[in-house]
Amino acid sequence: MSPIPSPGTLTTLERLEAEAIHIIREAVAEAERPVMLYSVGKDSSVMLHLARKAFHPAPIPFPLMHVDTTWKFREMYEFRDATAAALGIDLIVHVNQDCVEQGINPFDHGSAVHTDLWKTEGLKQAIDRYRFDMAFGGARRDEEKSRAKERIFSVRTPQHQWDPKRQRPELWHLYHARHAPGETLRVFPLSNWTELDVWEYVRRQEIPVVPLYFAKPRPVVERHGTLIMVDDDRFPLAAGEQPEMRMVRFRTLGCYPLTGAVESDATTLDEVIDEMRNSTFSERQGRVIDHDQAGSMEKKKQEGYF
């Protein structure tokens, strides 16, 4: 950021940064037990960076929580643990033990059941268990249509449900976190950011991100027209199927069997940003779960998906 902006000429990125910091401070000031949901992706990296800025020179006054599915990319786990250690952050990792016991996985149970039980149910469990009353999430309104209408401070019922018809009006910079016992809030500091804004900010601020965003030869197989990386030996290969080394990277990160890779030569941040500017596909296009049915994200959100 340029250190001395001339009056009235803050750039888009400077305004988005200031707004996100304001949101984070406001939420923490009004919540009793805040937590930041940390999914290890680029949006989480940016949100974490903004949280550090919001309270500098004091440390972040809340823990980070990763709702783990045990099916993330190995590089994500390495990055997560290295980040927490380097920044001295209080990191909670929550794993849904019911899923562990039942061996829920995307291959036998399908992407919908897998995501619902590991992520949606896992998140509900974790929030109930630690009695958090407010959770930051890195969701952006440009990702998906139903998110375009969600508030920055979004109330969930004690059953963790979102009711799009009962949202609170948000005027000016006035957000409030008051809620009944049992209700919780989701707060989205990156609501007004686009995917390009996130990458521009990562570049400007030199924020570390998982190396999976950069192209390199990785072992992949093609399933239903989507390139899936064979990240470990739990991946059931069909008879005679051989993973193939291809130059690929990822635009979004999730469970590795559910995340499509894109073929790419972009090995640096500049190349990634250039490639994205020229892309004619949206970022969630690589996500298997969004295509299950029309309006599927809205349905998932009403049920308690983040």
Residues between 192 and 211 with contacts to other proteins, criterion CB under 8 A:
192, 194, 196-197, 200-201, 203-204
* CB-nearer residue toward other proteins: 125 or 279: 279
With CB under 8 A as the contact rule, the residue among 145, 159, 161, 245 that binds other proteins is 145
With CB under 8 A as the contact rule, the residue among 88, 103, 240, 295 that binds other proteins is 295
Q: Is 285 in the site for other proteins (CB under 8 A)?
A: yes
Q: Residue 58 — φ and ψ, nearest 5°? A: -80, 155
Least separation in angstroms between CB 135 and other proteins: 17
Q: One-letter amino acid identity for 109?
A: H
Q: Is 74 in the site for other proteins (CB under 8 A)?
A: no
* CB-nearer residue toward other proteins: 239 or 294: 294
Q: Is 274 in the site for other proteins (CB under 8 A)?
A: yes
Q: Are 192 and 148 in contact (CB under 8 A)?
A: no
Instruction: Establish whether the linkage from the previous residue to 57 is cis, with ω within 30° of 0.
Output: yes
The tokens for 83 are 């980040």
- Alpha-carbon distance values, 218 to 44, 66, 208, 240 (Å): 24, 25, 21, 19
Site string for other proteins, 149-188 (x = CB under 8 A): x--------------xxxxxxxxxxx-x-xxx--------
Cα(253)–Cα(1) distance, integer angstroms? 28
Q: Are 221 and 212 in contact (CB under 8 A)?
A: no
The tokens for 167 are 């949202």
Q: Are 289 and 118 in contact (CB under 8 A)?
A: no
Q: One-letter amino acid identity for 198?
A: V
Q: Is 70 in the site for other proteins (CB under 8 A)?
A: no
* CB-nearer residue toward other proteins: 88 or 169: 169
Q: Which of these ranges, 39-47, 57-65, 95-103, 217-225, lies near other proteins under the rule CB under 8 A?
A: 57-65
Least separation in angstroms between CB 36 and other proteins: 16
Cα(169)–Cα(245) distance, integer angstroms? 51
Q: Which of these ranges, 48-56, 62-70, 73-81, 256-264, lies near other proteins under the rule CB under 8 A?
A: 48-56
* CB-nearer residue toward other proteins: 18 or 84: 18
The tokens for 154 are 């979004």
